A and B are shown apart, each in its own frame.
Chain A
Amino acid sequence: MANTSGEILLLEGLLKNERTAIETIYKDNYRMVQQLVLSNNGSEDDAKDVFQETLMVLYERLLKRDFELNCLLKTYLYAVAKRIWLKKLQRNVIKVDAGVLEEELPDIGFDIQFEQQQQQHHLNMRKAMLELGEPCKSLIEAFYIQKKSMQDIADLFGYTNADNAKNQKYKCLTRLKKLFFKVNQNSEL
């Protein structure tokens, strides 16, 4: 199914974190998700959560670049939201009405559980970075995210030379690695 250029622009806006794009998506789709959740044992708050999670999933898929939308964005969002909601219901072993289950959903090209794992990694990384503390956090960000050179980092953080900065970065990364993989393991026990 062909998508309107409007939808593609919208997705591009989303990827660039443009507020107006997100607002439009909210305006056009929130009611639909709300309806889905409310009529299936959910509350208003559940609906809000599901919708936000749906947007995070969409964003995550866009980041991956292999994103392909072969149905209308609305249909896609509905399919994602429904999978998320059913998952939540089933987790609490609440019976879901058959009609909703029977309805055919378009293939969204990925497993929602996998995406939820990604979200979990995201939260774990945030937690690990918080635990890492300063100056490690800033140092790691300067190197890996802002892609600053070691010399710049040395100047910025007041290390006598690039080698010292390198050494410090090595210690920080080792610690982050430990924290991240540890949190990742423990997040579900």
Chain B
Amino acid sequence: MRDPHLLQLIDGYLRNELTAEEKAAVDKMRQEDSSFDHMVVEQKFLIKQLEAQEARNAFEQTVHSVADQFHTTAEPTGKLLQLWKKHKKVISIAASIAGITALLISAAVNSFTQKPTSEIRQLSQALREVKRTQQITDREIQGLKQANSQPVAHAKLGGTGFLIDPKGYVVTSAHTVVNADSVYIQNSKGEYYKVNTIYVNSPADIAVLKIVDNKYVPLKTLPYGLHKNTVELGEEIFTLGYPRPTADIVYNRGYLSAKTGYQGDSLAYQLAISANPGNSGGPIFNKDGDVIGIMSGKQVTAEGVVFSSRASNIHQALQEIKKDTSLHESIKIHLHSQVKGVERVQQIKKFEPYMFMVKSY
């Protein structure tokens, strides 16, 4: 990046202005040098943003101006709205009775969307209470994961991942990589590797990446294990991650505060640990150095409440990946930590090379 010529070259490359030989040279360089490739992708991303910027600004302006005009010369409110306003009082009285409110509003929305409101639907409402609560919970978890990952997810270019098989398989959280055009990982020495996303499970918020980079030299056996046992409330835990834009790895310590996640989500744990955007996807270790979870998100409305996906979701992911025959090798994880009883400082030192910053574009 320090070289203006390199930047000029990338500009030309992205604009298709290079000669065939130059282009071939750049392609080759991208193949061989992931940090160069990363630079190209970064610049492409930036320019894409830039190019669309003007059009977006113009569109937004028109929308604002139409909105202003529309709302000041507001035509008479729609029929349904009038109806609703008329019944507003009634509805708000009924609001104290949750069941009825649900009924009323679902009816209102239904008639509005022209869906037939059947008797059966209303009558069965009570019976479906349980199912519904379940669904609300699911949605809320979903919403919460996404909402509180809002920070985490918007830190868009940042997340953490860790190796589960030295052949080049990395686990991170789903929301850091989902929908990305390209994903790179970077180790604490600042080396980049290109990765492909081979598995995503959004409800459990985990994803598996595969390093597809010739430059990658497989590391030795993992120092940490992938725990299958149960965890204990109050158990001490720690995590490593890349919450900073720089490649500085950050250590945090806390304890397991609940065996389930937000509103009893059985795919998750609740932790008391300090976490920042960029930590998501990072491994949660117990004191022996077994991975018990994957950092997912935190609750915005409460201080220090963090959720992690369970390590068992990794095992499940591997089961599903196994079924995918397009993958020619099998992923082998090992269950037992090599650093049991070792001092924390030493554990971290051992783990560091296996921790990656995940950058998605």
CB within 8 Å of B: which residues of A? Answer: 17, 19, 22-23, 26-27, 30-32, 34-36, 38-40, 48, 51-52, 55-56, 59-60, 63, 78, 86-87, 89-91, 93, 95-103, 110-111, 113-114, 117, 120-122, 125-126, 129, 140-141, 144-145, 166-167, 170, 173-174, 176-177, 180-182, 184-185, 187-189
Contacts and interface: CB of A to CB of B under 8 A. Distances in A.
Contacts of B156: 117, 120-121, 184
A17 B154 contact: no
B218 interface: no
Contact of B157 (A56, A166, A181): A181
B43 interface: yes
A113 B62 contact: no
Contact of B154 (A22, A97, A120, A182): A120
B248 to A, nearest CB: 13
B132 interface: yes
Nearest to B83: A35
B245 interface: yes
**Closest CB pairs A-B (n = 10):** A99-B106, A90-B143, A188-B151, A31-B78, A91-B147, A170-B4, A98-B132, A188-B154, A114-B179, A98-B102
B49 interface: yes
Interface string B26-62: 0000000000000000110011011111111111101
B205 to A, nearest CB: 12
A125 B53 CA distance: 8
A56 B63 CA distance: 8
26 contacts: A31-B81, A39-B84, A39-B109, A51-B67, A52-B67, A63-B56, A90-B139, A91-B147, A91-B300, A98-B106, A99-B106, A100-B106, A103-B113, A110-B179, A117-B154, A120-B154, A121-B49, A121-B156, A126-B57, A144-B47, A167-B4, A170-B8, A173-B7, A184-B157, A185-B158, A189-B276
A145 B51 contact: yes
Contacts of B57: 126
Nearest to B132: A98
A19 B61 CA distance: 10
- Main secondary structure, interface of B, reads helix
A48 B65 CA distance: 12
A110 B143 CA distance: 16
Interface in B157-206: 157-158, 175, 178-179
B8 A99 contact: no
Interface string B57-96: 1111011111101110000011011001000000000000
B1 interface: yes
A30 B106 contact: no
B46 A180 contact: yes
A50 to B, nearest CB: 12
A91 B142 CA distance: 11
Given A174-B1, A188-B155, A59 B78 contact: no
Nearest to B115: A103
